[in-house]
Amino acid sequence: MRPLNDVRGETEPASVNGRARGVLERYAALLPVTSATPALSLQEGDTPLLEVPRLAAWAGVASLYVKFEGMNPTGSFKDRGMVVAVAKAVESGARTILCASTGNTAASAAAYAARAGVTAVVLLPRGKVAGAKVSQALAYGARAIALDTGFDAALDVARGLTARYAVELVNSVNPHRIAGQATAAYEICDVLGHAPDVLALPVGNGGNISAYWAGFRRYRDLGRTRSLPSIVGGQAAGAAPLVLGHPVESPDTIASAIRIGRPASWESAVAAATESGGEFRAVTDAAILDAYRQLARREGIFCEPSSAAGLAALRASVAAGRTPAGSECVCVCTGHGLKDAQFAPALEDDAAPLPATVEAVAAALGVAERRGS
Ligand SMILES: *Cc1c(COP(=O)(O)O)cnc(C)c1O
């Protein structure tokens, strides 16, 4: 690990007197927090930044870290922005928040609404959301409404509703979401002591890539870091509007969290990739699942398949000679593997069970007997 010797100015401690601080408290000075903002928290943020040397070798880069955002309270990075959006909604007097979601936004909105004592309504594209995410939203007490369409049209309905009715939109077009999500960039810089050369992440609606770019620029402008990373955005090949340069009518991929054909934050996502000297890269579902398995098997990091699209894109970018192999890279793994475990290798139900004896299991494993026994 590098010494933390090139930090300028202050870094933000994750805890004070042994008490963990959530995003709103830790980064209050960089967020739209006023004296009237409720101190909402599920102790989100402060997620692991893991050095992953075996994965670095696989991706073909000199140095690689994984920012494991699946370790947030509801299992995805959405919590960073949601805590800010819900706190600001409550501050403004809202009693109901609303979002359209591919799953993780719904789970996060439902959790923070419960914590804040307000109602969450979540619009879900029917049959296109991982089951565990729907269970989460319902368990937190959200009102879930299935719509007979994909995510993009569901977001249109959410925006239309909040324009005309007294409900607060907490999708990532809400600027408080982006401000909160930028804290992940602050954390990376606080831990490394500098900005990495490259940041890679999956891109769906484009909110998160915009938030990271804003966050890295903010820290550089404050003098806390000197450089800015190139940002590599991974899109699923069947849902890659930002790679193609035009919307995709019927996005299709196993990566349900990024199955989006019309990114709501299109312009700011493009600005992040181009201004940073990075790129968008399309990766096949097979490449996404390969990266997903490598994360789990090489380093013990279980993320959901969509989360691995950033790593798949980084590896492809290095292979194409676009990202230099000598770079220090950070890959964001956006959500936890238990949310969408259907693609994890399952025990084969039809494999014949063994007799429940030590000898039978030892014979099946082919392990050597201890000397002297
Ligand atoms: C929301 C989400 C994304 C995509 O983020 P955008 O801000 O929509 O680009 C990626 N991965 C996971 C797990 C998500 O929940």
- Sheet order of strands, 198-202 included: 49-51, 63-68, 328-333, 198-202, 230-236, 279-283
Mean pLDDT confidence for 123-142: 94
* Ligand 1 lined by 72 (C-beta under 6 Å): no
Residue 1 has pLDDT above 60, yes or no: no
The pLDDT assigned to 173 comes to 92
Q: Which has the closest alpha carbon to 266: 223, 212, 218, 207?
A: 207
Q: Residue 334's CB: how many other CB atoms inside 10 A?
A: 30
The pLDDT assigned to 5 comes to 37
The pick from 306, 311, 331, 340 for probing ligand 1's pocket by mutation, whose C-beta has the most ligand atoms within 8 angstroms, reads: 306
* Ligand 1 lined by 109 (C-beta under 6 Å): no
Strands 230-236 and 279-283: parallel
* Ligand 1 lined by 257 (C-beta under 6 Å): yes
Q: Which has the closest alpha carbon to 285: 262, 302, 309, 263?
A: 309
Distance 176 CA to ligand 1 centre (A): 16
Residue 7 has pLDDT above 50, yes or no: no
- The average confidence (pLDDT) of the chain is 94
If 0-12 CB within 10 Å is exposed, 13-18 middle and 19+ buried, where does residue 356 land? exposed
**Greatest Cα pair distance in the chain:** 79
Q: Which has the closest alpha carbon to 318: 53, 67, 61?
A: 61
Q: Which has the closest alpha carbon to 216: 239, 249, 185, 256?
A: 185
Q: For residue 350, what are the contacts with CB-CB under 8 A and spacing of at least 6?
A: none
Phi-psi region of 7 (alpha: psi -120 to 50; beta: other; left: phi over 0): beta
What whole-number percentage of the chain has pLDDT above 90?
88
The pick from 68, 71, 203, 208 for probing ligand 1's pocket by mutation, whose C-beta has the most ligand atoms within 8 angstroms, reads: 208
47-53 long-range contacts, CB within 8 A, separation 24+: 47/71, 47/72, 47/184, 47/187, 49/187, 49/188, 49/191, 49/192, 49/330, 50/299, 50/301, 51/1, 52/298, 52/299, 52/301
Distance 242 CA to ligand 1 centre (A): 14
The pLDDT assigned to 343 comes to 83
Distance 81 CA to ligand 1 centre (A): 12
Q: Which has the closest alpha carbon to 232: 304, 171, 297, 283?
A: 283
Residue 4 has pLDDT above 80, yes or no: no
**Per-residue pLDDT reduced to its tens digit, 256-299:** 999 999 999 999 999 999 999 999 999 999 999 999 999 999 99
Query: Helix, strand or coil for residue 82?
Result: helix
Answer whether 101's CB lies under 8 Å from 109's CB. yes
| Distance from C-alpha of 42 to C-alpha of 21, rounded to nearest angstrom | 9
Q: What is the 3-state secondary structure (H, E, C) of 85-128?
A: HHHHHHHCCCCEEEEECCCHHHHHHHHHHHHHCCEEEEEEECCC
Residue 84 has pLDDT above 90, yes or no: yes
* Ligand 1 lined by 180 (C-beta under 6 Å): no
* Ligand 1 lined by 241 (C-beta under 6 Å): no
| Distance from C-alpha of 102 to C-alpha of 260, rounded to nearest angstrom | 9
Answer whether 88's CB lies under 8 Å from 33's CB. no
pLDDT confidence tier of residue 248, bands split at 50, 70 and 90? very high
Q: Please identify, by atom number, the ligand 1 atom nearest to the C-alpha of residue 208.
A: 7
* Ligand 1 lined by 76 (C-beta under 6 Å): yes
Q: Which has the closest alpha carbon to 75: 53, 47, 51?
A: 47
* Ligand 1 lined by 206 (C-beta under 6 Å): yes
Distance 306 CA to ligand 1 centre (A): 8
The pLDDT assigned to 349 comes to 58
Q: 């075996």: which residue's tokens?
A: 54
Residue 199 has pLDDT above 90, yes or no: yes
Q: For residue 55, what are the contacts with CB-CB under 8 A and spacing of at least 6?
A: 64, 66, 294, 295, 298, 299, 311, 331
Mean pLDDT confidence for 56-67: 98
* Nearest protein CA to atom 13 of ligand 1, as residue: 335
Answer whether 303's CB lies under 8 Å from 292's CB. yes
* Nearest protein CA to atom 15 of ligand 1, as residue: 104
Answer whether 101's CB lies under 8 Å from 227's CB. no
CA dihedral over 146, 148, 150, 154, signed as positive or negative = negative
Strands 168-169 and 15-16: unpaired
* Nearest protein CA to atom 1 of ligand 1, as residue: 257
**Per-residue pLDDT reduced to its tens digit, 333-346:** 999 999 988 888 76
The pLDDT assigned to 19 comes to 87
The pLDDT assigned to 11 comes to 78
| Distance from C-alpha of 235 to C-alpha of 201, rounded to nearest angstrom | 9
Distance 219 CA to ligand 1 centre (A): 23
Helix/strand number for the chain, H first, E second:
14, 12
CA dihedral over 303, 306, 312, 313, signed as positive or negative = negative
| Distance from C-alpha of 129 to C-alpha of 147, rounded to nearest angstrom | 11
